[in-house]
Structure 1
């Protein structure tokens, strides 16, 4: 979910006022980095994994399972032991690192240092994963277990699904009908991100997954667990006014998407051209791996007719306005954007001959001024269009202390637009 910076997050209205500043300086930062590394070759291929776990409290007598909201306490204990291990003679890759995630029931672990791009490096990954899992498990309570499951099946049900229990009525950030405020990590980044997505969009986020229909499923299926008549926040009426679809499982908060767990890999390639080639090569592999590792068949206690998290997290992270979604004529927004900012890749970017123009036959809105600026600084057509497409988005969270930066050394403004795209590590 990005670095947890210390600072004062801006409201959406304040963030909107600085959006052009962030985009302008984000491109400046990109160009500084581009000119520094575009011709560099021969770096070592390094890579690492990030494993996200959920911590679940199990009551064997009552046959109950709930997510444990003890992330801060657990991370504090793990921080102590990791600090001790860092001072001994263990190989650096064995000194695990643990990080907070969006959900207060989640933990993230990474190796202490990257793996080498060799067979030995590849073979060391499984041992390192086992070591980190054992380390984390040893610092849980006796009734807590560590799960590498994509989504918790009972998240957002009408009964108690968190330990301790909190009421969704107090969910001031998300205004969810189902998830309490305390489901998210207390860092201001997460609550501000939740609020700013909702305010920019002009409504709560929405994900509707089709219900699995068997012989006992009501037809049509109208979810009886949705509090249709709740009247605490202005957004409470959205469900009955069409946001909740018939024959679907309705979700209305960032926690349903950002609260999912997954395995991620991060690569440092030997050159910029190598990074672009790898980026393209992973595009067709991603959907295949998603299908092979499908592990999300249950949402809010209901069996869905899909078993992947993709559509849930795409909808939950969708900050587009009604105009950008094509539901109203463009007036205050600049573009009709065909999909969520968190969605599948729009363009191939490799400079290899095998990347034929016909492969990029999608309709991709982009900022023409930014593209022209990149072209004028020597960035090729393909990469310029890609970056200009990313930069049609607004920043969602800005800290007041980071508005003004040294563009020659910082990439914060560039990464705040699309934190998943990092040109170089140094």
Structure 2
């Protein structure tokens, strides 16, 4: 959840006078980080890790209700207490961390995974199972750690156990009590300071799912409360007709997600990986969709992202460039002269996003800020110093606001460690104010501490996070410390440990494949923005198309990936039909007239590689979940290099997620990149032909089924969690075609979700995971 410091947090009105101090010293700390690490780290291992967030839910089977548990957060202290249960965590290589909600816990591996070890990709699921088991062991049987992205009835009447009323001063929410907020002083202060900086509550409006008896107004908004001045906001412009209205940070930061962090060997590799994953972020948001219900309403979208974005949106009216509510201050809680007004001469912004002639008392320009501090990235880091060198300036096409003072400082830095792209990246992050400052941490040692930098860095919650190392004492062995990392943040949490392991492995293996094969995924940032909006739509994974690099412009030879479909696993694991008279095995490709096809022979043939029986790969996945063998092999031309002068219309096209993940006639698909990586880099060299190790075979079969899950979700053969939950509501006898989820229906959804998590109801498991994965899991439940 970000930087957790001990001390006395300052109220917004006391802390804002230190904003420039934090920014100035934070950048000094960043410069020192670059001086210590940018050139000295050139061969860090590919290590990675995941973060899983759980909700603690109390279940009352007698009265048929399920509610968020807000009085068992002591287990976090116990699981981190050496005198209590810390040894239980460490003995299982698990660590538990606080999250925004008092009902939430976050769990990670205690040590990162080795990205070069095939065993560690299987161990991920084992570790996730341990996390759930350990947390459950600290709880009564009727309280379960659940991996739902959103709790369906958060904000509806009594939805917590024990019950609490929404009368708290931190959030001033009409729906959420402050008792749901983590007890650490950072969290209620963060909640209150966002509201005070903004000078009004956050306002989140989601379109209602239209049904026969759906009302056009959110009738859950209380009309007669007069506790805070903000109680009037939904009636003076904060709420929208036809939408579900939410007014608190908890609605977003109280949702759960799955995040993956990978370490590059050096800063340049990490920059290229960051850029390459940027177009993947909306694809994986759509593919992991799991949030169709908010505040007891079915909504007309499938994911949480814009809810979390809105929940921490601290921008004032002028920063959002909108008219304030009646009698509200245009400048909100900014540190400005009380007489400041916006005149016609100020209605112009410069190239940095600054309003003309408007400044805070500290001299910082007041800016037009198009996005919340929780949103998609605004610019690539550029691979200009990496071997690929695909980046072109035209790809950064949305001109986000930057802090000119900080940009100039980084560019003018004598060490010359910051090129314009890196300088703009950090200068954009540092347009934000620090939201929580601890009085004891105002003054820091910039040579050894980096809390001021992290104060800004960790409260820019974007789809990707570029994570520099920390500062260390001189003569520290840096090889044993975290290096340059990329955090992948858009994915929604899934119901089972198997699914979460599958998605985690997919991103980590894809990242390693990107580093190895060096595809060119660059498209304009504006098209990624458009894809993020598309990803929110109902069933976008199968109904929508997404902008992506034209599948024949990846700078890959699709012929190099022949045979690396899902059937590779069977050919590698099963000796027999693949064996030739000379004793060789063609596990890595397909034969032509009884001979192995090599690259030279391919280039002499005409036509194109047929990787499926249709223009998309949907028919190439057989009923067994394996891609059908290629039955026609011919020339696979090298895709046009990124340096070629091609019109953007030929480079970027719209594709289904199925095409991007599973491939087309022209392109191997992301899964084939992963499978070739496994075959060529992760399988032990001693087993280059058929697998002779039972343990290796067991691991590969598990990984194969992870990829089958991803493949079948992409093709629509199995539903997303969002589709499944929506279907459960629409088909339930407890649903009244009014877009509302009652407490009894909420109980049923939670119980069904747990049955899937526990693999205890075969029918429900098949609905979510499909026939192939379910059959495998029920017969191979142990990892």
TM-score, with length taken from structure 1: 0.94
Q: How do residues 81-96 of structure 1 correspond to structure 2 at under 5 angstroms?
A: 82-85=85-88, 90=91, 94-96=92-94
Residue 95 of structure 1 and its aligned partner are, at CA, apart by 2.3
Match of 1:186 among 183, 198, 203: 183
What is the aligned partner in structure 2 of residue 24 from structure 1?
Answer: 24
Give distance in 2, aligned partners of 1:237 and 1:205. 13
On the 8 A contact 1:82/1:97 being kept in 2, the answer is: no
1:415–1:421 CA contact under 8 A, matched in 2: no
1:233 lines up with 2:228 in the alignment: yes
Partner of 2:270: 275
Q: Would you say 1:364 and 2:400 are equivalent positions? A: yes
2:213 is matched with 216
Q: Shift in Å at residue 84 of structure 1?
A: 2.6
Paired position in structure 1 for 2:430: 391
| 8 Å contact from structure 2 (residues 95, 108) kept in 1 | yes
Instruction: Choose which of 99, 102, 105 in structure 2 pairs with 1:104.
Output: 102
Which structure 2 segments of 5+ residues have no match? 324-341, 343-354, 459-464, 471-480, 482-783
Q: Is the 8 A contact 2:97 2:106 kept in 1?
A: yes
| 1:286 maps to 2:281 | yes
Q: Partners in 1 of 2:121 and 2:268 — Cα distance?
A: 23
Contact 2:78–2:86 (CA under 8 A) maintained in structure 1: no
Aligned residue for 2:202, secondary structure, equals: coil
Show CA shifts across 1:163-189 (max 9, x none): 0001112x1100000000101011110
Find the counterpart in structure 2 of residue 313 from structure 1: 308
Aligned counterparts of 1:336 and 1:71: Cα–Cα separation in 2:
42
Give the superposition deviation at 1:3.
Answer: 3.1
The aligned residue for residue 422 of structure 1 is 467
1:408 aligns with 2:453: no
Deviations 1:68-115 (A, max 9, x none): 11342222343456423478xx5xxx3211111110111111111111
* Aligned residue in 2 for 1:381: 420
Indicate the residue corresponding to 2:79 in structure 1.
78
Q: 1:123 is paired with a residue of what secondary structure?
A: helix
The one of 383, 390, 393 aligned to 1:351:
383
Question: Is residue 184–residue 255 contact of structure 1 (8 Å, CA) maintained in 2?
Answer: yes
TM-score after normalising by structure 2 = 0.52
Work out whether residues 324 and 335 of structure 1, in 8 Å CA contact, stay in contact via their aligned partners in 2.
yes
2:145 is the alignment partner of 1:146: yes
Deviations 1:40-65 (A, max 9, x none): 20011211111000011111111101
Matches within 5 A, 1:48-67: 48-67=49-68
Q: Is residue 127 of structure 1 aligned with residue 166 of structure 2?
A: no
Range moving further from structure 2, 413-422 or 323-332 = 323-332
Offset, 1:122: 2.0
User: Is the 1:273–1:350 contact (alpha carbons within 8 Å) kept by the matching residues of 2?
Assistant: no
Contact map agreement 1:71 1:107 (CA 8 A) in 2? no
Structure 1: tracts of 5 or more residues without a match:
none
Structure with the bigger RCO (C-alpha within 8 Å, sep 6+) is 1
State the secondary structure of the residue aligned to 2:236.
helix
Contact 1:82 1:95 in 2 (8 A): no
Match 1:338 to one of 370, 382, 396: 370
Q: Is this contact kept in 2: 1:86–1:95, CA < 8 A?
A: yes
| C-alpha separation in 2, matches of 1:284 and 1:137 | 37
- Deviation at 1:338? 0.6
Are the aligned partners of 1:207 and 1:316 in contact in 2 as well (CA < 8 Å)? yes
The 8 Å contact of residues 93 and 127 in structure 2, kept in 1 or not, is answered as: no
Distance 2:128 2:143 in 1: 19
Give yes or no for contact 1:71–1:106 (8 Å, CA) kept in 2: no
What is the Cα-based RMSD across aligned positions, in Å? 1.6
Contact 1:104 1:182 in 2 (8 A): yes
Number of aligned residue pairs: give it.
417
CA contact (8 A) 2:152 2:295 kept: yes
